[in-house]
Structure 1
Amino acid sequence: METLNYKVLAQTGYNGYILKDAPIKVMQFGEGNFLRAFVDYFFDVANEKAGWNGKVSLVQPIGNFPQMADWINEQEGLYTLYLRGSEKGQKVDDKRVISCVANCVCPYSEGKWAEVLALAASPDLEIIASNTTEAGIAYTKGDSEFDQVPPNSFPAKLTRVLYERYKAFNGAADKGLIILSCELIDNNGKELQKCCNNYAADWGLDQAFIDWMNTANTFCSTLVDRIVPGRIRDPQEMAAIEEANGYHDQVLDVGEVFGVWVIEGPAWLEGKLPFKKAGVNVMVVPDVTPYKKRKVRILNGAHTGFVLGAYLAGYDIVRDCMHNDTIREFMNKMLYEEVIPTLPLDKDDLMAFAAAVQDRFNNPFINHELMSISLNSTSKWKARNMPSFLEYIKEKNELPKCLTMSLAAYIAFYSSDIQERTADGLICKRPAGNTYKIQDDAWALDFYYAHKDDSAADLVHAVLTNTQMWDQDLTAIPGVEAAVLADLELIRSQGAEAAYKSCL
């Protein structure tokens, strides 16, 4: 079977949108599955719906997989994207051939860094996008040199690219770029800008350039939200797809149908970027923080809020939990009645986001295991659920039923018939009879193992007064200790599903 390219695609009779020739307007650091299913998807739709007429040049931020660049270039930048999931309860499986990618450059290959620097000087270039993993936005003094081919770190590469552009246009204020950082760290754009300033100072670059870098360019922090499994793992399914498509695709990509990109920036940015005109789920806002809070409290908080009890109730996959009326309604009551009222965004927006959560958890294409979500649940509950718990109590002057039960379920999960403390986990046994391994910080696992013979009352008291866990003594909140103890005893005596049902 022939490999995908423009000629092969035309021969298959594909009738979807394709743009073969356009100027390169985006330099993208990162060629992985996430960026191609998210950022490049949005640019591709912008070409179709907004007449943006732009291409993206991918730059590999590290040199450990140059073959990926070869695969993308062999396919002339084309690849097949499947967006799969559930929308309003209906199964969705959409295929799109993405044609906004022009090429992929591995700057560690002979002569390729020079190509990156040449693109930096292009008058067509408008945007730099990046996702170089959480570790990518980092500065270490002395790790990268100005004339290195290429500099080691991503921020060092970007500083060099910006300097090349500054020189090419003699520091013209209107030749700055929009920099969209997608790395999964807080204030990603601001942190990237700090790193670039550190490299510029280390390299002794002139103050005029540093001023231009900080004023002519717009470093944007962004929040990204799309689950990207990345590939189809079943060889039989993959073979059937290629047979149906009529070509072999070495870089086929898969993402969930839900996707939202929140970009922090000045108001003029909305008109400069093509996304609003294209009608895609990308927004420019003055502050990304409330949207980050929305994601953490609703999406992530929902996961951590129900999965530990659901696992004890005998469930293994998130989707199966959404088919159980009790667990699903427990989650929804927690979100709509206890979490959303504490958040500082438009309530209709929050309700729509929460409604999408149920669809996302019901994705028929993703087997999201509860045990994988359970990793590091102590810090997760503190970060994702505790703020809603405390703010609800502050606003309503009463305990939130579901979040209180969720805290009890966390304790139940970490103390269910403890078997042993191993080098990398705590082995417990769930009511169904099988053992499971809890993975968390060593001090948290040591704590529960030390308290494995406690009575329920003593365990609850020890957990709630543990300031290392919660940064405060939770027993100071009136009624919390008695309520959590009652919930824990209910979970242990009647099962987690019955305990969840008592909250409805």
Structure 2
Amino acid sequence: MAKLTRSTHPAPSFPEKILQFGTGVLLRGLPDYLVQQANAQGRFEGSIVVVKSTDSQTDEFSDQDNLYTVAVRGVQQGQDVAETSVVSAISRVLAAKTQWSQVLMLARNPKLQIIISNTTEVGLDYVEESIFQSPPQSFPAKLTAFLYERFRSVGGSKAKGLVVIPTELVTDNGLKLREAVEKLAQFNELGKLFTKWLKFHVRFCNSLVDRIVTRPTDEAKQAIQQEVGYDDELLTMTEPYHLWAIEGDDRVRQMLSFADASTPQIIIDEDINFYRERKLRVLNGTHTLTMPLGYLLGLETVADEMNHPTMSKFVESLMLDEIVPTVPDYDTPGMDKAAVKQFAHDVLDRFRNPHLDHLLLNISLQETAKMQARNVATIQRYYEKFNAAPKHIALGFAAYLLFMKAVKEKDGQFFGEIAVANDGKITYPIRDDKAGYFYGDWKIVKASSPATVEKFVKSVLSDPALWQTDLTALPGFVSAVTQHLNALLSNGAEKTLAKAVS
């Protein structure tokens, strides 16, 4: 088959209005995809210049004239979705290591309006370094160098200020990036006029991105390429659901002209905390509470959980009956209880998506930190609302404690073990900074001794270093978790789950 290029798929050219740091699938499957849709509808008519920082190889883009395919596959409101489109919004890809001067040249472009990034979670961290290297090492330093070049070329013009939107999965990512840039400006002695321009004419926006985007499996890639009739080394697979919430005012709305009433998936609001809290509690919190039990059942993916008749009931009940009622809402249309419930049903559709291999073991990374960040507040709010222990959350927490039980340690890596059919066993890595902590605590536990189980549960739940609070202060929570953990140890995950949802 022919390769995807502009010869086989002609596409219009537009002025370069966006600079993007990062070439990953999330950017390709969400912001770039949305810009493409706006261009196709005549609402933006701008292209994206992408900067690649990891290495100097950009052939995968240039070989395809910067085109790539987005394949949307999944379930939405109970209906199967299968859509495929070519994205032509990227005009060129520059390698920071070898083309830094060209990146800085773009700062002089009067049509440039927006900067987007998705580096890594640590990519927003401040690193004390000179911005006059070619190129600077850290992303904040690269951005500072670019903004300083912009300032110098436009003479501090208010009209040539920019909107900067990081999409890294960090709370208050815009504020964190602004802080790093301001520190670098001070360290590099860039002057008061630049600092003033930065403060008043460069808007750093907190943002939240929500869409699962992956590279397709070899099998899926082959099938899609046969369907579209060309080879695409940049083929990108996404779920139907997508949301991009951006914290901004009227000026931001004006600059982001690709977002209007026809794109409800892009939300621009002066406060996006509702969307962040909703996603953290409903989607991420459910993942964290259900992953251990699903894995103890011998399941591999989120879709497997939703195909398991008993586990799927548990997931739905936990989310809809115990998490959703605790999510704070603003009592306004789009940010009210109805919006939280609708989001939860959307999430259940997303969990059922058979086209995405969302591995449970990948979700288990740093499970303890995730449990604290995503679910402790939910447990506390449940008590405030119902004055009782949430029974499904308690089972999820008990399964988490059992998942954290390491049976061996090798070179600082801890491993757990589950039983499978025909008396077999599967060993799994416990990729958690607290694995050693639990390895020691589990040694006091004897499966045949409920008293040792209760002592273990009390010790863990009372530790403020883990939870930033004492969870034993919640009436009945120790008892509920202990009861479920005893059941898991004595009867196994399948029987314990069946009793819990009956």
TM-score under structure 2 length normalisation:
0.91
Is it true that 1:446 corresponds to 2:439 in the alignment?
yes
User: Does 394-403 or 372-381 show the bigger shift?
Assistant: 372-381
CA deviation profile, 1:192-251 (whole Å, cap 9, x unmatched): 111111121122112111110111111111111111212x331x5434433443332232
Is it true that 1:137 corresponds to 2:130 in the alignment?
no
SS of match in other structure, 2:123: coil
Separation (CA, whole Å) in 2 of partners of 1:138 and 1:479: 41
CA change 1:294–1:240 in 2 (3 A) is closer
Is it true that 1:269 corresponds to 2:252 in the alignment?
yes
Is it true that 1:115 corresponds to 2:106 in the alignment?
no
Q: Report matched runs for 1:68-467 at 5 Å.
A: 69-109=58-98, 112-141=99-128, 143-146=129-132, 148-230=133-215, 232-234=216-218, 237-273=220-256, 274-345=258-329, 346-415=336-405, 419-422=407-410, 423-430=412-419, 432=421, 433-437=424-428, 438-441=430-433, 442-453=435-446, 455-467=452-464
User: Does 429-438 or 90-99 show the bigger shift?
Assistant: 429-438
SS of match in other structure, 2:125: coil
For 1:125, give the aligned amino acid. Answer: L
CA deviation profile, 1:312-369 (whole Å, cap 9, x unmatched): 2332221121122322222222222221222122111111111111111111112222
Q: CA contact under 8 A between 1:156 and 1:196: conserved in structure 2?
A: yes
Give 1:303 deviation, angstroms: 1.0
Q: CA contact under 8 A between 2:210 and 2:242: conserved in structure 1?
A: yes
CA deviation profile, 1:11-59 (whole Å, cap 9, x unmatched): xxxxxxxx41111110111122221111100111111235211111111
Separation (CA, whole Å) in 1 of partners of 2:19 and 2:262: 20
User: Does 465-474 or 377-386 show the bigger shift?
Assistant: 465-474
For 1:322, give the aligned amino acid. Answer: M
Give 1:282 deviation, angstroms: 0.9
Give 1:255 deviation, angstroms: 2.0
Query: What is the aligned length?
Result: 485
SS of match in other structure, 2:206: strand
Separation (CA, whole Å) in 2 of partners of 1:102 and 1:21: 8
Give 1:373 deviation, angstroms: 2.0
SS of match in other structure, 1:275: coil
Q: 1:38 aligns with which of 19, 30, 34?
A: 30
CA change 1:492–1:218 in 2 (3 A) is same
Task: Quote the sequence identity (%).
Answer: 35
Separation (CA, whole Å) in 1 of partners of 2:263 and 2:131: 42
Segments of 5+ residues of structure 2 without an aligned counterpart are 330-335
SS of match in other structure, 1:122: coil
Q: CA contact under 8 A between 1:267 and 1:285: conserved in structure 2?
A: no
CA change 1:463–1:163 in 2 (3 A) is closer
CA change 1:163–1:402 in 2 (3 A) is same
Separation (CA, whole Å) in 1 of partners of 2:42 and 2:319: 36
Separation (CA, whole Å) in 2 of partners of 1:251 and 1:140: 32
User: Does 386-395 or 279-288 show the bigger shift?
Assistant: 279-288
User: Does 467-476 or 200-209 show the bigger shift?
Assistant: 467-476
Give 1:61 deviation, angstroms: 2.7
Q: CA contact under 8 A between 1:144 and 1:153: conserved in structure 2?
A: no
Separation (CA, whole Å) in 2 of partners of 1:477 and 1:227: 35
CA change 1:339–1:239 in 2 (3 A) is closer
User: Does 374-383 or 124-133 show the bigger shift?
Assistant: 374-383
Separation (CA, whole Å) in 2 of partners of 1:240 and 1:410: 38
CA change 1:50–1:490 in 2 (3 A) is farther
Give 1:71 deviation, angstroms: 2.6
User: Does 183-192 or 468-477 show the bigger shift?
Assistant: 468-477
Separation (CA, whole Å) in 2 of partners of 1:283 and 1:410: 35
Q: CA contact under 8 A between 1:310 and 1:497: conserved in structure 2?
A: no
SS of match in other structure, 2:96: coil
Give 1:431 deviation, angstroms: 6.2
Separation (CA, whole Å) in 2 of partners of 1:165 and 1:439: 43
Give 1:452 deviation, angstroms: 4.0
User: Does 488-497 or 277-286 show the bigger shift?
Assistant: 488-497
Separation (CA, whole Å) in 2 of partners of 1:135 and 1:375: 16
SS of match in other structure, 2:75: strand
For 1:76, give the aligned amino acid. Answer: D
CA deviation profile, 1:435-479 (whole Å, cap 9, x unmatched): 333332243333344334363333323332333332333222222
Q: CA contact under 8 A between 2:414 and 2:436: conserved in structure 1?
A: no
Separation (CA, whole Å) in 2 of partners of 1:163 and 1:467: 44
Q: CA contact under 8 A between 2:130 and 2:188: conserved in structure 1?
A: no
Give 1:98 deviation, angstroms: 0.2
SS of match in other structure, 1:430: strand
For 2:4, give the aligned amino acid. Answer: L
Q: CA contact under 8 A between 2:71 and 2:85: conserved in structure 1?
A: yes
Q: 2:44 aligns with which of 52, 73, 77?
A: 52
SS of match in other structure, 1:102: strand
User: Hey, what does 1:13 align to over in structure 2?
Assistant: none
CA deviation profile, 1:164-202 (whole Å, cap 9, x unmatched): 222222111111011111112221111111111112112
CA change 1:361–1:40 in 2 (3 A) is same
SS of match in other structure, 1:367: coil
Separation (CA, whole Å) in 2 of partners of 1:371 and 1:71: 30
CA change 1:429–1:325 in 2 (3 A) is closer
User: Hey, what does 1:16 align to over in structure 2?
Assistant: none
Separation (CA, whole Å) in 1 of partners of 2:288 and 2:160: 45
User: Hey, what does 1:15 align to over in structure 2?
Assistant: none
Give 1:380 deviation, angstroms: 2.0
For 2:27, give the aligned amino acid. Answer: L
Q: CA RMSD in A?
A: 2.1
Segments of 5+ residues of structure 1 without an aligned counterpart are 11-18
